Amino acid sequence: MEYRCKNHKENSEKVYRLLKYLIRTSKLIMTAVFSTLIIFPAMEKPLPVWFTPLYLILLTGNAVFWLIRIFLA
């Protein structure tokens, strides 16, 4: 089976660095989401209507951006 993203000695450091950035930015987005999910109910406010679409766009966009960068590495 052949993979689209080749991991050679020449690009392994770059691929692993990009994967690290993917994980870090995903963790940052998830932390922001959970913080929002804690803060809004604590203030007795409903979540904004735009919360779920924004969350999905951010998470999907983040994954797509970094995966494209990894495939082009």
Instruction: Please write the tens of the pLDDT for every residue from 17-61.
Output: 999 999 999 999 999 999 999 999 999 999 999 999 999 999 999
Decide if 45 is inside a domain.
Answer: yes
1 pLDDT exceeds 60? no
Is residue 22 within 8 A of residue 67, CB to CB? The reply is yes
The tokens describing 21, both together, are 């950035």
> The whole model's pTM is what?
0.80
Residue 70 pLDDT grade (very low, low, confident, very high; cuts 50, 70, 90): confident
Phi-psi sector, 44: left (phi>0), alpha (psi -120 to 50), beta: left
Count of domains observed in the chain: 1
5 pLDDT exceeds 80? no
pLDDT value for 9? 72
Of 24, 41, 64, the residue nearest 51 (C-alpha) = 41
pLDDT value for 2? 61
Range(s) of the domain holding residue 49: 12-72
Decide if 35 is inside a domain.
Answer: yes
